[in-house]
Structure 1
Amino acid sequence: MTKTKWIIKSQSEATGDLAMVVLKNRGFDEEQIEHFLHPSYLTDLADPFLLPDMKAAVERILTAIELQQKIVIYGDYDIDGITASSLLYDFFQSAGAQSIEVYIPDRFEEGYGLNSAAIKDLKKSATDLVITVDCGVTAVVQAKLAKTIGLDLIITDHHEPLDDIPIGQIALVNPKLSTSKYPFRELAGVGVAFSLVRALLIQKPTLLKAGQEKWLLDLVALGTVCDVVPLVGENRALASFGLQVMRKTRRAGLKALAEVSATEISQVNESDLGFRFGPRLNAAGRLEHAKTALDLLLSTDLTQAHELAQKLSELNTERQSQTQEIFNQADMQAKKCGQDLVLVLADKSWSHGIVGIVASKIAEKWHKPTILLQILGDTCKGSARSYGDFSIIDGLNACSDTLIQFGGHSFAAGMKLKTENVELFSHTLNQYALKAINIESMLQRIEVDAVLHSEQLKLESVAVLGPLQPYGNENVQPVFSSTLELVEYRLIGQHLNHVKFRFITDKKNYIDGIAFSSAHKWSDLKTEQMYDIAYKLQENIWQDVARLQLEVIDIKPISAHS
């Protein structure tokens, strides 16, 4: 069995309202519970002018709108950057700006973030003002270049700044800067962009009719959920209200995306965003160019939107195929790196548009921070995903002498390095990890919110947990545990990588269970034996009949919780 460590927050069996039990076991007091269960658009969103340089950004943008200057929104090619770009484009159009363009760099030709060639081209095309979204905080060279050639630059970003930050720009708006007074630092890039919109409307309310900016919240929810930022505090409010807006969305692109992904838009939830909408929108930037995703979000024609959504679905199917192929190859490499605390895997055939997805899967399987690199001749490009408590961005900082460039968060990052330095990079990173990694923290930690007795294993319990949504990073779907008898289990799925279970309670009620991508975890299970099961409660609808289903996270012999 896979080595796991269960953290059971309360050994007593849960009684009463399960949602309240979960929040209390997570350490919430009565006031915090009230605030959590009733997010407020008016009070949960802080004053946007507490963000660094917001006043300077607003003044310059208002001047550009008034003088009808050319504004270019420079976005990233992932879904956070695409939604932020769409949001600002929509807003500027509604606010009366006459010359607006969006520039999304090509992942394969230009790479991540601001690049010098693009800065020069934008200047040549008579651009007056460039506003970045979801990128720019590490663009020291590019900000200096923009200043030198006379191109006004406003940087909005949410990534971790490095020791050297850009200078010379009009404004650098980022809640993670040490100078920030903003009380919530975990906004997504689209959340920072929405803060810019709110600040503009505070300064000049006549730009839009009162309350019209709320129609942008569907894009905020989409980018916030899919960028996997913590869904607490301000992000919880933005996602909650954004999902409400999306259920009534006016956007042809989102309606078409819902149709091709078999999603009922009037009932869309955060899981749909993360597992249906997000992968399709991201597939464009991973395989071709993110412009297809941008065009879909900006489309006002249902026929065109459906064609674009269908193309994204086809790209996503191809992405899934490539992901599985790269995973199989990377998994074989990982088997040869048993002593390494951090896996550094490389191959020339792996697309760097997909390696980030695979790095996540490898990290989850091997319980180790993982870096996947595509070898591109003399250089490599790749993505990193952390595991446990290890900060991957701190690890890359410690190896910066071996890298050409890098950036990201504690959990995810991207980098570029010389191919000849891959072995040195791996060695240096693993030497750092020897001191930085607590082996205990690398066990798969399963936090169990409550222990349930058999009477609580019923479909109604799923609805009781509804007020805890939307689920996401730092507000995960509750995990429960119960002692059940295993009746049968079998492998299912195209690749036989999922496990289907049937359990029986002490009340002789049968309950089905499913474990996704977990066939490798349990090889010694025996039927007609009792096990402690860690699981999430799900509603499973089959042939129009709703039944309770357990999404199994882990199985252990009774009382073997560590």
Structure 2
Amino acid sequence: CGLNNTALDILKQRGTQLIITTDCASSDVEQIHYANELGIQVIITDHHNPPHELPTAYAMVNPWRADATEDDQLFRPLSGAGMAFKLVQALYRTYKRPLEDEMDLLDLVAIGTIADIVPLIGENHILARLGMQKLNMTNKPGLQALMRKANLQPGRIRERDIAYGLAPRINAAGRMKDASIAFHLLTTESEEDAVNYVAQLEELNIARQQQTETLMRSVREEAQHHPHDSVILVSGDDWHEGILGLVAGKLVEEINKPVFVLSNDIQKRLSRGSARSQKGFNVIEALRNFSGHLERYGGHAQAAGFTIETASIQAFRQHLLEWQTTGNGAAVEDDIAASIEPVPLETVEEVVQVETVVEQATFVQKVDLVLHKTDLLNYAGYKKLRELSPFGASNPEPIFKMERARVIDRWASGMNRQNLRLKLAVADAKTGATTHVTGTLTRGAAQLETFERGSLVDVVFRIESSEDEIRREIWLKILDVQKSSVGV
């Protein structure tokens, strides 16, 4: 993404005199120089780590600049949408626009903040929380039509609905065809046009899902050729560039290694790539230390994009492996989330670690609170937890554990009957009163016969609800369940 000379030529022909970027262009030194030659001024708003040589833009609103003051650096956690909103706030207040005009944009800011997976603490938490309140009562025809298509009900929109329902459909436009479709959807005042734009986005999103799965199969196959590499680099001819980042992110989750996915343009002899990693390997630093061989690059510590000559891919692979081996991969961790320690809940009674075995891979699941009382296992308790929302990066949903819950019933559920449903009876340690609650372990049906009726189990879970104020139901999203060993 970012600026390109072809687009600049088109904008010049249209009489454009000023470009304001959002979430890009900090690395577009050559493109902004070309814009200056065309007589177009550029204001950059971005939150990506810029190169040492800054573009000669009219202004660059980016708290990651090397010359950023301590006050400037306070804005580093903001998303790309958050940085653009800061410019809007400054303009609105300079020209004495009413506060309501700022507030009217917060639904869009919330979508951008949550979709960008930035730490949901501090100002990000405030923007997302206020924005979700605005979103749940939005009068924007585009958002209303989009929520209907995603089967979401205004008044009950939560952060996961944005992350998995709204944002993928909006992003599908730029990934698969033309981002202007999403722009027109979010700015139209016509309900009829909104329905038309949503139909286009839905079609593109379905195509995106299908092509992502197809490309995932190719990428997995390529990755198997390098099973012992500590950094995985895969490339293929004419892979869809709009989904490279999605595929790289999915593969990181599967193999727990940094992943670089490139699409080769045979005619231009160039390859465009997306990189994703986890803490411990700084993608942007790895690219910066190979920048002499890159056409362009930009991004964050754990996500970046770049362009390279196809002939240099093997040298780049060797650089990445050496970079990881020498320990440089973990250097200069500029992702703000990496330096943030989770803040414990004030009501935490006990923090434990539960070892869970899944497909012979052991991981440690952190539990925020072991429940000895059942006062949270009702709708009022759920609503109390939601006061901590929105949940996300650096502010995860609380995870609970119950011990010695009795299995009243269990059955398989879901489209392919692959989920495990449990009906549990839980005794309050203080009052002795019994509460009945139902929970679901996704893809857990294989354990159906493990938990007999009447047996005691320990359950790790989150509390869920449809937020129907009439039915006021809650259920458990089970993360792990094992036969109880407490008191046995």
Q: TM-score, normalised by structure 1?
A: 0.70
Secondary structure of the equivalent of 1:382?
Answer: strand
> What is the match of residue 100 of structure 1?
none
1:277 Cα deviation after fit: 0.8
State the alpha-carbon separation in 2 of the partners of residues 118 and 245 from structure 1: 34
Q: Indicate conservation of the 8 Å contact 1:130/1:151, yes or no.
A: yes
Counterpart pick for 1:398 among 273, 289, 294: 289
Encode CA deviations 1:392-443: one digit per residue, 9 max, x unaligned. Answer: 22232233344332211112111222333333322321221223368xx999
After TM superposition, the structure 1 = structure 2 runs for residues 472-551 of structure 1, keeping only pairs within 5 Å, are 472-483=392-403, 492-493=414-415, 499-502=419-422, 504=424, 507=427, 511-516=437-442, 526-528=450-452, 533-539=459-465, 547-551=473-477
Secondary structure of the equivalent of 1:117?
Answer: helix
1:283 Cα deviation after fit: 1.0
Distance 1:188 1:532, change over 3 A: same
Residues 1:467 and 2:393 aligned together: no
Q: Indicate conservation of the 8 Å contact 2:374/2:426, yes or no.
A: no
Counterpart pick for 2:63 among 144, 153, 175: 175
1:505 Cα deviation after fit: 5.3
> What is the match of residue 423 of structure 1?
314
1:278 Cα deviation after fit: 0.5
State the alpha-carbon separation in 2 of the partners of residues 531 and 324 from structure 1: 36
1:318 Cα deviation after fit: 2.1
Secondary structure of the equivalent of 2:271?
Answer: strand
1:475 Cα deviation after fit: 1.3
Encode CA deviations 1:425-482: one digit per residue, 9 max, x unaligned. Answer: 22321221223368xx999664322222363562333222010111122112112233
State the alpha-carbon separation in 2 of the partners of residues 464 and 431 from structure 1: 50
Distance 1:382 1:515, change over 3 A: farther
Q: Indicate conservation of the 8 Å contact 1:484/1:505, yes or no.
A: no
Q: Which has the higher contact order (CA 8 A, sep 6+)?
A: 1
After TM superposition, the structure 1 = structure 2 runs for residues 1-40 of structure 1, keeping only pairs within 5 Å, are none
1:513 Cα deviation after fit: 3.7
Q: Indicate conservation of the 8 Å contact 2:404/2:484, yes or no.
A: no
Q: For structure 1, which runs of at least 5 residues remain unmatched after alignment?
A: 1-111
Q: Indicate conservation of the 8 Å contact 1:388/1:443, yes or no.
A: no
Encode CA deviations 1:479-512: one digit per residue, 9 max, x unaligned. Answer: 2233467875758556x8x643426456487654
1:558 Cα deviation after fit: 7.3
Q: Indicate conservation of the 8 Å contact 2:231/2:324, yes or no.
A: yes
> What is the match of residue 196 of structure 1?
87
Secondary structure of the equivalent of 1:413?
Answer: strand
Q: Sequence identity of aligned pairs in percent?
A: 32
State the alpha-carbon separation in 2 of the partners of residues 524 and 332 from structure 1: 33
Residues 1:448 and 2:367 aligned together: yes
Encode CA deviations 1:212-244: one digit per residue, 9 max, x unaligned. Answer: 221111111111111111111111111111122
Residues 1:236 and 2:119 aligned together: no
Q: Indicate conservation of the 8 Å contact 1:454/1:505, yes or no.
A: no
> What is the match of residue 270 of structure 2?
379
Encode CA deviations 1:310-333: one digit per residue, 9 max, x unaligned. Answer: 221222122222222222333333
State the alpha-carbon separation in 2 of the partners of residues 398 and 453 from structure 1: 53
- Supply the AA of the counterpart residue of 2:36: K
Encode CA deviations 1:13-53: one digit per residue, 9 max, x unaligned. Answer: xxxxxxxxxxxxxxxxxxxxxxxxxxxxxxxxxxxxxxxxx
> What is the match of residue 54 of structure 2?
165
Distance 1:430 1:400, change over 3 A: same
> What is the match of residue 87 of structure 1?
none
Residues 1:330 and 2:219 aligned together: yes
Q: Indicate conservation of the 8 Å contact 2:420/2:448, yes or no.
A: no
Counterpart pick for 1:143 among 9, 32, 42: 32
Q: Indicate conservation of the 8 Å contact 1:398/1:429, yes or no.
A: no
Distance 1:530 1:464, change over 3 A: same
Encode CA deviations 1:157-194: one digit per residue, 9 max, x unaligned. Answer: 11111222112x22111122233332221212221222
Distance 1:419 1:534, change over 3 A: farther
Q: Indicate conservation of the 8 Å contact 1:239/1:470, yes or no.
A: yes
Q: TM-score, normalised by structure 2?
A: 0.80
Counterpart pick for 2:252 among 341, 352, 363: 363
State the alpha-carbon separation in 2 of the partners of residues 346 and 491 from structure 1: 39
Q: For structure 2, which runs of at least 5 residues remain unmatched after alignment?
A: 331-337, 339-360, 428-433
Secondary structure of the equivalent of 1:431?
Answer: helix
1:281 Cα deviation after fit: 0.7
Q: Indicate conservation of the 8 Å contact 1:217/1:241, yes or no.
A: yes
Residues 1:222 and 2:111 aligned together: yes
State the alpha-carbon separation in 2 of the partners of residues 534 and 417 from structure 1: 46
Distance 1:536 1:345, change over 3 A: farther
Distance 1:209 1:449, change over 3 A: same
- Supply the AA of the counterpart residue of 1:192: M
State the alpha-carbon separation in 2 of the partners of residues 531 and 449 from structure 1: 19
Distance 1:210 1:334, change over 3 A: closer
Q: Judge which range, 393-402 or 153-162, deviates more.
A: 393-402
Aligned-residue CA RMSD in angstroms? 3.3
> What is the match of residue 99 of structure 1?
none
Secondary structure of the equivalent of 1:126?
Answer: coil
Q: Indicate conservation of the 8 Å contact 1:491/1:519, yes or no.
A: no
Distance 1:356 1:493, change over 3 A: farther
Counterpart pick for 2:18 among 129, 137, 153: 129
Distance 1:479 1:310, change over 3 A: same
> What is the match of residue 458 of structure 1?
377
State the alpha-carbon separation in 2 of the partners of residues 514 and 239 from structure 1: 28
Q: Indicate conservation of the 8 Å contact 1:484/1:504, yes or no.
A: no
Distance 1:524 1:269, change over 3 A: closer
Encode CA deviations 1:238-258: one digit per residue, 9 max, x unaligned. Answer: 111112222222211011111
1:343 Cα deviation after fit: 2.0
> What is the match of residue 118 of structure 1?
7
Q: Indicate conservation of the 8 Å contact 1:135/1:159, yes or no.
A: yes
State the alpha-carbon separation in 2 of the partners of residues 468 and 141 from structure 1: 45
Number of aligned pairs?
A: 439
Q: Judge which range, 226-235 or 387-396, deviates more.
A: 387-396
After TM superposition, the structure 1 = structure 2 runs for residues 303-342 of structure 1, keeping only pairs within 5 Å, are 303-342=192-231
State the alpha-carbon separation in 2 of the partners of residues 489 and 345 from structure 1: 42
Q: Judge which range, 133-142 or 242-251, deviates more.
A: 242-251
Counterpart pick for 2:305 among 400, 404, 414: 414
State the alpha-carbon separation in 1 of the partners of residues 103 and 50 from structure 2: 30
Encode CA deviations 1:268-291: one digit per residue, 9 max, x unaligned. Answer: 222221111101111111111111
